[in-house]
């Protein structure tokens, strides 16, 4: 898999995780770091399904020494309070863990958001 792209809806979360795992395997990303890629893809796609309008687009590819993931939606955008927050949610908090987890597990995270949608791009180094 040189690059992978798919439009997704509610029933496609497992397919998105599988694509991330295949990309990791094909490019030699193993163990915990492969799991990190699957987790960040899961969180980004799940956020779209729950908060971003229920449908989006996932792209996965290699660029240099990193595997990249981009998830886009056409939802209402993210409130700035979610982007500004750097501390983890309180342990008993249900939800609101996704962005915090993505920032902890990926080597780079860029989030662009506005009233016509959100794009999250993440990179995980292979070596």
The pLDDT score that the predictor gives to residue 48 is 96
Q: Each residue of 9-64: pLDDT tens digit?
A: 999 999 999 999 999 999 999 999 999 999 999 999 999 999 999 999 999 999 99
The fraction of the chain above a pLDDT of 70, given in percent, is 99
Please give the Cα distance from 33 to 38 (Å, whole number). 9
Q: Work out the average pLDDT over 68-91.
A: 92
Are 40 and 124 a contacting pair, CB within 8 Å?
A: yes
According to DSSP, the residues that pair with 122 across neighbouring strands are: 69, 109
Q: What is the CATH T-level fold of the domain 3-125, as seen in this structure? A: Heat Shock Protein 90 (3.30.565)
CA proximity to 125, closest of 59, 47, 33, 5? 33
The pLDDT score that the predictor gives to residue 13 is 97
The pLDDT score that the predictor gives to residue 51 is 92
The pLDDT score that the predictor gives to residue 2 is 77
Query: What's the predicted TM-score (pTM) here?
Result: 0.94
The pLDDT score that the predictor gives to residue 84 is 87
Scan for tokens 């939606």, then name that residue: 73
C-alpha angle 5-96-124 in degrees, rounded to nearest 5: 40
Whether residue 1 is predicted with pLDDT greater than 80 in this model: the reply is no
Burial of 106 from C-beta contacts in 10 A (0-12 / 13-18 / 19+): buried
Most confident region among 63-72, 82-91, 92-101 by mean pLDDT: 63-72
Contacts with 87 (C-beta within 8 Å, 6 or more apart), sequence order: 100
């Amino acid at each position: 898999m040189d690059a992978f792209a798919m439009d997704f809806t509610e029933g496609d979360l497992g397919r998105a995780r599988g694509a991330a795992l295949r990309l990791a395997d094909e490019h030699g990303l193993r163990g915990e770091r492969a799991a990190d890629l699957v987790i960040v893809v899961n969180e980004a796609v799940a956020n779209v399904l729950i908060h971003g309008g229920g449908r989006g687009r996932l792209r996965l590819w290699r660029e240099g020494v990193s595997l990249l993931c981009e998830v886009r939606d056409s939802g209402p955008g993210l409130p700035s309070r979610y982007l500004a927050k750097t501390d983890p949610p309180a342990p008993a908090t249900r939800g609101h863990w996704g962005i915090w987890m993505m920032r902890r597990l990926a080597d780079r995270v860029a989030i662009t958001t506005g009233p016509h949608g959100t794009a999250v791009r993440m990179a995980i180094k292979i070596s």
